Structure 1
Amino acid sequence: MTTEHNGPALAGTRVLVCGVANDQSIAFGCAKAFRELGARVAITYAGEKALPHVKPHADAIGAELLLPLDVTQPGQLEAVFDEIDRHWGGLDSAIHSIAWAPKEDLQGGLLNCSAEGFAKAIDVSCHSFIRLARLAAPRMTNGGTLFAMSYHGATQVIENYNVMGPVKAALESSARYLAHELGPKGIRVHAISPGPLKTRAASGLKDFDLLLADAARRAPMGELVDIMDVGFTCAFLATKYARRLSGDTVYVDGGVHIMG
C-alpha cells in the first residue's frame, strides 16, 4: 500500500513483533507485511532452540532487532523494551502472537483441564499481552497500535480447541478494555482473529487437518487465508487510514466466521 506523494504508508514507523517461530508463523507474516509498507521491525523469538529457525528470515527482511523473549521468565519482556529504548527511543506498533497451554490440558478437554494448566495458559496467552501493553504505552508518545492474535474459538465452540477457547475469549475482552483505557493516549487496540492456518502452534490441536479442510469448504471465498493476509490486515490497521478504528476483533478468515 503506497501513496503517490508520501511513499510507503508505514515508512519509518517502529514495530515490535513478538512470537516469531519460523517463516510459517503468523508473527512472521506480520513482520514481513510491516516491512513491505516501510516500517522498521524488531522481532522476538522464544528461545535458543528457535533462533536458527528465525534468524535467517529476520535477516532476509531486514529486521533491526532480534531478541529472545520467554514471557514466563521474569525480566525478559522488560529487557526487550530496554533494547527498543536504546535502539529506537520509542515505539509505534506492537504485535503479540504468543499462545501456549500444557499439552495434557490442551488435548484433554476443558472439563479435565487442571487449575495449574488453565492458569499457565491464561498467563502466557493473555496476561502477557496486558504486560506488553503496559510497557509499550509509555513509549507510544505519538499514539500507536497494539495487536493480539485470537481465533474464532473465542466466541464459538470449535471441536478440540478446548481450554484455548476461554483463554482467547479473555484475550479479546482484554483488548477491548485496553482500547478503552489507552484511547485517550491515541493508542488503538485490536484482537485479530485469523482463520485456521498451518502453523507449528496449531499443530498441537487434535485433528487440526480436519479443521483446515472444513474451513476451506465453508469459507465463502472458497480458500484458506495465509500469514500475509493476516500481516497486511494488521499493517493496514496501523496506518492513518484506520485511525478511527479501535477495540474490534477483526476476522481474517475468508468469511468462515459468518457461516452457521
Structure 2
Amino acid sequence: MSFLQLEGKKFLIVGVFNKKSIAYHAAKCLEQEGAECIYVVKDDGVKEKVRQFIPDANIFSCNVEKQDEIENLYRDISTLHTKIDGMLHSIAFANFSEGLKPFHETKKKDFLQAIDISCYSLINLSYAFKDILDKNASVVTLSVPFTKIAVETYGYMAPVKAALESSVVYLAQSFSQFSQVRFNVVSANVIKTSSAAGLPDYIKLSLYAESLTFRKKAIETKEIANVITFLLSGSSSAINGQSVVADAGMIVNLFDREVLEIFYKNKIGIDT
C-alpha cells in the first residue's frame, strides 16, 4: 500500500483551464497515484479545449456564478457517482480590464464578483456536494502567501483570498458537526499560470518573488500539485482548517541580503 493511499479514490477537480493550470497538474499527480478525477470547468468552450489534452476525461461544465448550474452539476455527477473522496477548488477571477488601480478605487461590482467566484463558490460547491462527500473526504483550495501584507500588484485579490482562507476555517468547523471532512488551503507563491499572468505587472512580481526565496529559484507548478495531492490524501488526516504555505520561504525572507544590496546600489548609487 502506498503512503498516500489514493488508489481507487475519486476527486472533483474544479478549475482546469489549460495545461498550465495548477488544477491540471494536481489531477495528473492524483491519477498517477491511482485516483480518478472528475473535471469541472467554467463552460462548454473551455470544456472542448480541455478535452483536446485530456480526451478520455469525465468533464462537466459549470459557471459557479449561477446557482442553477451548480445544482445541475450536483445532479449530473451524483447520478454517476454516489461517493467522492475530495475536491480541489482552483478557481479565481478579478476584473483588471481597466488596469491596476489603487485599492480604494475598487468598484463594488468587481469586488463582489471576485468574492462570488473566488470565495463563495467554495462554500456553495461544498454545500451542494456534502451528501456524496465521503465522511473522511478532503477539500483543498488555493490562496497566496500575502493576504496579510500589502502587495499592490496583486490588487484587490489578496483581500478576496483572505476571505477564502477564513471561509476554510469556518467550513472545517461547520462540517465537523456531521463528518470528518477536512478543509485546507495551499498558499502558493507566484507561479506561471494563465490566471497569474493576467495580474498587472506579473513579470515584475514573479521575478521579485523568486529573488526572495531562500533557494533563489521559482516555485514550479508541479511542486504545488504535490502539496495539494498530499492534502487530498488520507496521509494528511491531522491537518484541518489550515493554510499551508508553499513559497520556498519567500514570505519570511522579505529582507533578503542580496535583494537589499541591489536596492541600495540602485537607490543611492553606492556599493554596500
TM exceeds 0.5?
yes
- 1:54 aligned to 42, 50, 54, which one? 50
Q: Structure 1 stretch 222-231 or stretch 115-124: which is displaced more?
A: 222-231
1:253 aligns with 2:253: no
Give CA-to-partner distance per residue, 1:193-219, whole Å, 9 cap, x none: 111111111122111011111111111
Give CA-to-partner distance per residue, 1:138-168, whole Å, 9 cap, x none: 2124320111111123222113111101100
Tell whether the 8 Å contact from 2:134 to 2:181 is kept in structure 1 after alignment: no
**Offset at 1:177?**
0.8
Question: TM-score scaled to structure 1, two decimals?
Answer: 0.91
1:143 aligns with 2:136: yes
Secondary structure of the equivalent of 2:200? coil
> Between the two proteins, what is the percent identity of the paired residues?
26
Secondary structure of the equivalent of 1:250? strand
**Offset at 1:137?**
2.1
Q: Structure 1 stretch 47-56 or stretch 174-183: which is displaced more?
A: 47-56
Tell whether the 8 Å contact from 1:101 to 1:121 is kept in structure 2 after alignment: yes
Structure 1 runs of 4+ with >6 Å offset? none
1:167 aligns with 2:160: yes
In the other structure, the counterpart of 1:230 is: 224
Give CA-to-partner distance per residue, 1:58-81, whole Å, 9 cap, x none: 23xx53x20112111231122222
Secondary structure of the equivalent of 1:31? helix
Gaps of 5+ in 1: none
Question: TM-score scaled to structure 2, two decimals?
Answer: 0.87
2: CA distance between counterparts of 1:131 and 1:106?
Answer: 30
1:199 aligns with 2:193: yes
Tell whether the 8 Å contact from 1:137 to 1:187 is kept in structure 2 after alignment: no
Tell whether the 8 Å contact from 1:97 to 1:149 is kept in structure 2 after alignment: yes
In the other structure, the counterpart of 1:209 is: 203
- 2:146 aligned to 142, 146, 153, which one? 153
2: CA distance between counterparts of 1:221 and 1:148?
Answer: 25
2: CA distance between counterparts of 1:144 and 1:99?
Answer: 23
**Offset at 1:105?**
6.7
Tell whether the 8 Å contact from 2:146 to 2:251 is kept in structure 1 after alignment: no
1:2 aligns with 2:2: yes
1: CA distance between counterparts of 2:128 and 2:95?
Answer: 27
Q: Structure 1 stretch 42-51 or stretch 16-25: which is displaced more?
A: 42-51
- Describe the shift of the 1:112–1:105 C-alpha distance in structure 2 as closer, same or farther (beyond 3 A): farther
Tell whether the 8 Å contact from 1:106 to 1:205 is kept in structure 2 after alignment: no
Q: Structure 2: which amino acid aligns with 1:86?
A: T
- Describe the shift of the 1:169–1:55 C-alpha distance in structure 2 as closer, same or farther (beyond 3 A): same
1: CA distance between counterparts of 2:39 and 2:117?
Answer: 18
In the other structure, the counterpart of 1:42 is: 38
In the other structure, the counterpart of 1:18 is: 14
In the other structure, the counterpart of 1:241 is: 235
Gaps of 5+ in 2: 255-272
